[in-house]
Structure formats: C-alpha cells, structure tokens
Amino acid sequence: MPDFLALDWEHGQVCGLDAEVTPSGVRVRKAFTLKWPEGKSPSEDAPAAGGWLNEQFKSLDLTAKSVLVTIPREDAVVRVLEVPNVPDAELPNVVRFQAAAKSTRPLDSLLLDFLPLPRREGVSGREVLVATIGREVLDPLKLVLLRTGCELAGVSLTATAMAELIARLVRTDPPPPQSVELAIISHEHLVEITLLRDRALLLTHAARLPDDATTPEREQQAIVAEVNRSLVALKRQHPELALSRTWLWGDPTSLHGLAGVLRKRFACDVNVEDPLVLPGLTFDGDGSVTSHALFTGPVGLLFGQTGRRTESLDFLHPRQPVVPRDLKRLYGTASIAAAVLLFLGAFGWRWNTIRLMEKETAEHRIEADLLKKEIDGSGAMVKNVNAIGKWTDQRVAWLDRLFELSEAMEGTDRRYLTKLNGQPGAAGIVGVVRGDGFAKDRDDIDDLSAKLASHEGVTVTPHQVARPGTDGDYPWKFDLDVSWKPVKKVSAVGGQGSGAKKK
C-alpha cells in the first residue's frame, strides 16, 4: 500500500505524520513536531533547513518519501470571484484570466487553484473560490524537501483538508438546507476559521489573537469575536444562510470550555473532534505530540488519498482546462476503421463464396467490382469530414481571443478595463470584443491598439479618447473595439493531418 509523509508546514515548526494509506483507512506509524532552529528555517536559509530536516528524518527512521503538505492560511490569498457562466471544461482558463485582472502581482509569479462553488439563485455567472500563493512560498519548500530525498506530491490548505474530514463525519447526519457549518482550529495565539456549505468552502480566515488573550476566558472571547467577523462577512454574500453546526479540532480536554461558549453564543450544535482519533484511522504513534490541532490538515490530506469526498485545492496540480478532442482526426480514424472493417468483411464473404461456388467465376467478378465501388465511395465520407472540420474551425474561440487581449494588456500597471463584452461578428467577422477602459497616458492606449492590430486577422476600430478625470491615476478613458476575421489553418499534405491554427 502507498506510504505518505503528511506535513503541516508552519513558520516556526513542522508537524508530520508518517502513514500508510489503504482503501479502508489510514494507519499512522509515527507523529512528530519539529521546531526550526534559529537561523535554519526555510525562510532564512533553505539549504541549511533541508540539511537539518534530513538529519531529523533519519533519527525518526521515517520510511515514506512521498510528501503531502498544508501551508499556513496566512501565506495564501483566498477570495470569491464571479466569472462568466462557461462550461466546466473552460472554467480554468476563465478563472485565470479573471484572477490576473484582479491581482496586483503578475500571475506567473503565483500558483493558483480554485474550487467551483454551488450555484445559487440571483447569480447569473459562476462563483469560484480562488486561492493563490507566491512562488517564494513553494520554492524554499521544494528545496528543503529535495535535501531530505523526498518528493513533493501535493500542496494544499488546511481548510480543504479539514472539509474532507467533515464530509466523512457527516455522512449519516447531513446539515439541513440553507445552513452553514463553522470549523475552528486554534493553536497558541493563532486561530483559523472556515465556513462551509454542502461540503464546499465559502470562506476561510486566519487571525492572530490579541496579546492580552492570556487566560482561557479572554482567549474564548477573542475567538468568538473573530467568528462574528467571519459570519458578518458571509452574510453580505449569503444572507439566506444560518449557522447550524460548529466543529472544534484539537485535544477535546482543552476545548470543552470554548465549546460551551460557542454553543451558548450561537445556539448551534458543537462537535469537538480529535484529528488523531477518528473512524478509519489507526494510530500506532507513542502519543507524545503536544498540540493535536495542527495535525488536522495532514490527517485530512491522508484520508483524501483513500478516495475524495470533497473538492480539494492543490497548488502543485491545479485544475486544468479540458483539451477539446480533434474531431477531424477522430472522423478520419473512424473512416479508415470503417473502410478496413468493410474490406475484411467483404474479403471473408468473397472467400467463402469462391469456396462454395467455384464454377460461378463471372458472378464473383461482378461482386468484386461492386465491392471496389463501395470502397471508392468512402472518399465522399472523408470530404464530409473535412467540411465539418472547416465549419468547426470557424466558430468563435473566445478563450483564445481573451488570451490575446490579456497578453496585449500586460497586467494593469498602465491600463485596465472596466467592462468587456464579446459577441459574434457580422459577415466576414468571426467575433467582436468591445469594452471600456482607463489608461495612465495616451501612449498606453495607442500601444494597446498597435499590439492587438499586429495579430493576424485582427482589426482595431479607433474611437475618441477623452480625459473625464474620474480616476486620478488613470485619467485617459478609451473605448476598445476589436474584431477578428477568419484565419485559414495550415494542413498537412493530403488534408489528413491535424493541422495548426494561426492565432
């Protein structure tokens, strides 16, 4: 069975589980907590941190080499975006385009993954929960694990790993409709709050408690205040939802006081769960670990390897668009297969006929001629396939058009768009994109028009440029009007190749 090393990668320490995963559950061989020594943390000196961690792994006699990691919530940016209502296959590209327009950093310096949210009334588009982390977070992590001889298999957030555990626990007791569930992980002066609906993340938030939260009562008050802030933020987007259940993760003996406060304050059921004591988990460790709360993420990642019950984030393997099938190649293969099958069937029939009717050679020649005509007639089928492929290529490929526009924009440092509308074009035009935007200088508008016009088949219609003065940093207002003419594709000799479309 596969072995995994599941880690919670905190700034000051790393918590881990060395485990075996089977279809029926998880067997934990060892649990450990290692505090980074001064001057040897991944953020300070990744090579030195890797050498030190390699020594610790050897002393613990860890056997797993495939590593799953949850990173701190504070290292990620998580927000809800509304994107156009496109099919699931096209959603990854649309989300990346929308995230690039909203981000203050270039998208190539970030790692992005997202979760589709449940559809709801009153929202015409698609809502997605987008999470990003900087490459400066992942690169030291890779370097440290490389020094230990381990291979990074997945990187996620604690919230999605915890949602996997909740989905397994509520299998026989689902929450009522129009309700939201609250999950809390508290460790020392940090608290992570997650709100879920139908096993889908709606909000995840991490906060540092005040310095004066030194007593259990003051700590409980600070956590309740953070929960109130999260619920208020959720109510702005989902006023119809009500809190039905709360999950507290950690050592049950230290959470009973907080459970009582939450039960009284929010009038909801409160479940206290120890991540190291769950159905389907066998713990063979020595039980000497201190905070059980930090193992919630690693345990969720391990159970996810047995068969996922919820959608998950993975910055190492984000969602990818589905590559459309090459219909021309499919039809061509089908035509060849049909011709081969037809030929083989006819050959067998002809052989059997000759064997049974050797004296009727004239009739055999007539039948062979008819068979040849049927095989030659397959050329019409190939012609029809080429016609269908030509019609398919003339449809509007909106994602390609938006990608060209995104490349020409080069981020939002010099200009940005406030409205974008795509529609089919008139005769001789594949599609038209119109929009409004603002720019810092007049040259930025001309530069955008020139870059778009340099693409084959692209026409940029000039419009009046004004300075309305509504945005101090971007005083120039402009209208964008771009149209695309059909571009013929280049095919291989004989028209049987897949071809390459010019953009």
Rounded distance between C-alpha atoms, residue 38 and residue 23, angstroms: 41
Domain end point (choices 393, 409, 435): 393
Contact 182, 246 (CB under 8 A): yes
User: Quick one: tokens of 489?
Assistant: 């594709």
The mean pLDDT of 445-474, rounded to a whole number, is: 80
Residue from 186, 127, 139, 143 nearest 53 by CA: 143
User: Quick one: tokens of 246?
Assistant: 């709360």
For the beta carbon of residue 340, count every other beta carbon within 10 angstroms.
10
Rounded distance between C-alpha atoms, residue 328 and residue 334, angstroms: 10
Rounded distance between C-alpha atoms, residue 402 and residue 399, angstroms: 5
The helix/strand/coil state of 46 is helix
Helices and strands in the chain: count of H runs, count of E runs: 12, 18
pLDDT digits (tens, 9 = 90+) for 361-378: 777 778 777 777 777 776
What's at 264, amino acid-wise?
K
pLDDT digits (tens, 9 = 90+) for 150-172: 999 999 999 999 999 999 998 77
Is the residue at 215 inside a domain? yes
Residue from 485, 482, 476, 468 nearest 420 by CA: 482
The yes-or-no verdict on residue 394 having pLDDT over 60 is no
pLDDT digits (tens, 9 = 90+) for 14-71: 999 999 999 889 999 999 999 999 989 998 999 999 999 999 999 999 989 999 999 9
Q: What is the pLDDT of residue 278?
A: 94
Residue 492: band (very low, low, confident or very high) from pLDDT cuts 50, 70, 90:
very low
Rounded distance between C-alpha atoms, residue 404 and residue 89, angstroms: 19
- Element holding 181 (H helix, E strand): strand 179-187
Regarding whether 293 and 248 lie in a shared domain, the answer is yes
Domains of the chain: total:
3
Is the residue at 316 inside a domain? no
CATH of the domain at 456: 3.30.70.60
Q: Please state the separation of Cα 469 from the chain's center in Å.
A: 39
Regarding whether 297 and 179 lie in a shared domain, the answer is yes
User: Quick one: tokens of 396?
Assistant: 């509007």
Regarding whether 367 and 249 lie in a shared domain, the answer is no
Q: What is the mean pLDDT of the chain?
A: 85
Q: What is the pLDDT of residue 354?
A: 73
The mean pLDDT of 272-292, rounded to a whole number, is: 86
Q: What is the pLDDT of residue 380?
A: 67
Regarding whether 338 and 253 lie in a shared domain, the answer is no
Regarding whether 454 and 386 lie in a shared domain, the answer is no
For the beta carbon of residue 454, count every other beta carbon within 10 angstroms.
10
Regarding whether 385 and 409 lie in a shared domain, the answer is no
Rounded distance between C-alpha atoms, residue 11 and residue 36, angstroms: 8
The yes-or-no verdict on residue 392 having pLDDT over 60 is no
Q: What is the pLDDT of residue 428?
A: 64
CA-based angle 194:105:323, to the nearest 5?
80
Contact 479, 436 (CB under 8 A): yes
DSSP structural state of residue 54: H
Strand segments (E) across 198-241: 200-208
- Residue 419 burial (CB < 10 Å; 0-12/13-18/19+)? exposed
Nearest 5°: phi and psi at 154? Answer: -175, 145
Rounded distance between C-alpha atoms, residue 163 and residue 175, angstroms: 14
pLDDT digits (tens, 9 = 90+) for 298-356: 999 999 999 888 999 999 999 998 766 655 666 677 778 777 887 777 777 777 777 77
Least confident range of 221-235, 253-267, 281-295, 336-350: 336-350
Q: Which region, left, alpha or beta, applies to residue 149 given φ > 0 means left and ψ of -120 to 50 means alpha?
A: left
Instruction: Give, to the nearest 10 degrees, the angle between helix 378-393 and helix 361-376.
Output: 10
The yes-or-no verdict on residue 493 having pLDDT over 50 is no
Contact 423, 443 (CB under 8 A): no
Q: What is the pLDDT of residue 267?
A: 94
Q: What is the pLDDT of residue 280?
A: 94
The helix/strand/coil state of 104 is coil
Is the residue at 228 inside a domain? yes
Is the residue at 292 inside a domain? yes
Contact 6, 282 (CB under 8 A): no
Q: What is the pLDDT of residue 502?
A: 40
Residue 417: band (very low, low, confident or very high) from pLDDT cuts 50, 70, 90:
confident
**pTM of full prediction above 0.75:** no
CATH of the domain at 67: 3.30.420.380
Instruction: Give, to the nearest 10 degrees, the angle between helix 442-453 and helix 398-409.
Output: 140
Rounded distance between C-alpha atoms, residue 248 and residue 255, angstroms: 7
Q: What is the pLDDT of residue 495?
A: 43
The yes-or-no verdict on residue 476 having pLDDT over 90 is no
Domain limits for position 93: 3-304
DSSP structural state of residue 358: T
The yes-or-no verdict on residue 271 having pLDDT over 90 is yes
Q: What is the pLDDT of residue 396?
A: 64
Is the residue at 499 inside a domain? no
Rounded distance between C-alpha atoms, residue 212 and residue 233, angstroms: 25
Regarding whether 337 and 235 lie in a shared domain, the answer is no
Rounded distance between C-alpha atoms, residue 454 and residue 432, angstroms: 16
Is the residue at 492 inside a domain? no
Residue 494: band (very low, low, confident or very high) from pLDDT cuts 50, 70, 90:
very low
Residue 51: partners with Cβ closer than 8 Å, 6 or more residues away = 147
Regarding whether 182 and 245 lie in a shared domain, the answer is yes
Rounded distance between C-alpha atoms, residue 255 and residue 296, angstroms: 15
What's at 276, amino acid-wise?
L
Is the residue at 489 inside a domain? no
Q: What is the pLDDT of residue 221?
A: 94
- Pairing type for strands 476-484 and 458-460 reads antiparallel
Residue 497: band (very low, low, confident or very high) from pLDDT cuts 50, 70, 90:
very low
Residue 485: band (very low, low, confident or very high) from pLDDT cuts 50, 70, 90:
confident
Measured on CA atoms in the order 93, 95, 97, 100, is the torsion positive or negative?
negative
Q: What is the pLDDT of residue 503?
A: 42
Regarding whether 286 and 339 lie in a shared domain, the answer is no
Regarding whether 439 and 405 lie in a shared domain, the answer is yes
Give percent above pLDDT 90 in the chain: 50
Is the residue at 217 inside a domain? yes
Regarding whether 279 and 229 lie in a shared domain, the answer is yes
Regarding whether 191 and 144 lie in a shared domain, the answer is yes
